[in-house]
Structure 1
Amino acid sequence: MAHEHKLEIFRGLVKFKSNVQKIWGVLIFLTLVTAVEVWLGIAKPEFLAKEYFLGMKRLNWVFIILTLVKAYYITWDFMHMRDEKSSLRRAVVWTPIFLVVYLVAILLMEADYIYTVFKEGFLAWNF
C-alpha cells in the first residue's frame, strides 16, 4: 500500500503539483536561508555585530536561530516528519532542539566565565 506524501510546505501556504516541484521549492527555501546567513556573515551589520544579548552578540544569535530553522525544516520535510504521528514528531524534532539550546546555554556560561577570568586577571598557583 503506497503512502502519498503531502505536496505543500509552510503548513499548506505553498502547494506543489509533484514531488520534483516540492524538492525544488524546499531547495530554494534552504538556499535563501543560507544566503541570508552568508550575507550576514560578510556584511556584519553594526546593529547586530555590536549589540549583546544574554552575553553573546545578536549576530551569533541570528546564526544559531537560522541554523535551527534549517535543521528543523530538513527534518520536517526530508525525513517526512509531517506525515508521522505527533508523538514521534515531538520525540525526533524537539529533543535535539532542546539539547542544542541546552548546549548553547552551557557554552555561553563557560565562555563568559573564561572571558572574565582573562579580562580581570588570574592567579598563578605556586605548588
Structure 2
Amino acid sequence: MAHEHKLEIFRGLVKFKSNIQKIWGVLIFLTIVTAVEVALGIIKPDFLVHTRILGMKLLNWIFIILTIVKAYYIAWDFMHVRDEKPGLRKSVVWVPVFLIAYLVFILLIEGDYIYEVYKDGFVKWNF
C-alpha cells in the first residue's frame, strides 16, 4: 500500500527528481533560514532593534516568524504531513498555530506588565 511522495516544495515551485534530492533541497532551505537567523542575531541591525511592533522589537518578530517557517517545513516535508488527508493536515497545523499565537499574546501582555512594574518601581507591601 505504499505510494509515492510528492517531490516538490514551495507549493510546486521547485520540483525534484528523487526523494534524496528533495531531502537535500529542504535541508538547504532550512540551513539558509537558520543562517539568516544566526546572522541577524549576531549583527542585530539598529533599525530592527529599535523598531517596535505590538510592544516587541521587530527583530524578535522576525525570529518568531522564521522559527514558525522552519517548524512548518520540518513537519510538512520530513514528517510527511503533506501526504495526509486534508482534515488531519488542518488539525495538525492549525492547532499549534493557534497555541503559538496564544503563547505569544500572553508573553507580550505579561512581559509588558513586568516591564512597567520595573520601570515605574515596585510598591513594597507592608503587612
Shorter chain as denominator, the TM-score bin is over 0.9
Alignment of 1:38-57 (within 5 A): 38-57=38-57
Q: Determine the C-alpha separation between the residues in 2 that align with 1:108 and 1:88.
A: 31
Alignment of 1:52-71 (within 5 A): 52-71=52-71
* Amino acid aligned to 1:110: E
Q: CA deviation at 1:58?
A: 0.3
Q: CA deviation at 1:65?
A: 0.3
How many corresponding residue pairs?
Answer: 127
Give the 3-state SS of the residue equivalent to 2:38 in structure 1: helix
CA deviation vs aligned residue, 1:26-54 (integer Å, no higher than 9, x gap) = 00000000000001001111111111111
Give the 3-state SS of the residue equivalent to 1:95 in structure 2: helix
Q: CA deviation at 1:81?
A: 1.1
Q: Determine the C-alpha separation between the residues in 2 that align with 1:93 and 1:73.
A: 11
Q: Determine the C-alpha separation between the residues in 2 that align with 1:111 and 1:30.
A: 30
Unpaired runs of at least 5, structure 2: none
TM-score by length of 1: 0.97
CA deviation vs aligned residue, 1:80-106 (integer Å, no higher than 9, x gap) = 111111111110011111101110110
Alignment of 1:13-24 (within 5 A): 13-24=13-24
Unpaired runs of at least 5, structure 1: none
Q: Once superposed, which parts of structure 1, at least 4 consecutive aligned residues long, lie more than 3 Å away?
A: none
Q: Determine the C-alpha separation between the residues in 2 that align with 1:108 and 1:35.
A: 26
Q: CA deviation at 1:55?
A: 0.6
* Amino acid aligned to 2:103: L
TM-score by length of 2: 0.97
Match of 2:119 in 1: 119
* Amino acid aligned to 1:116: E
Q: Determine the C-alpha separation between the residues in 2 that align with 1:74 and 1:109.
A: 30
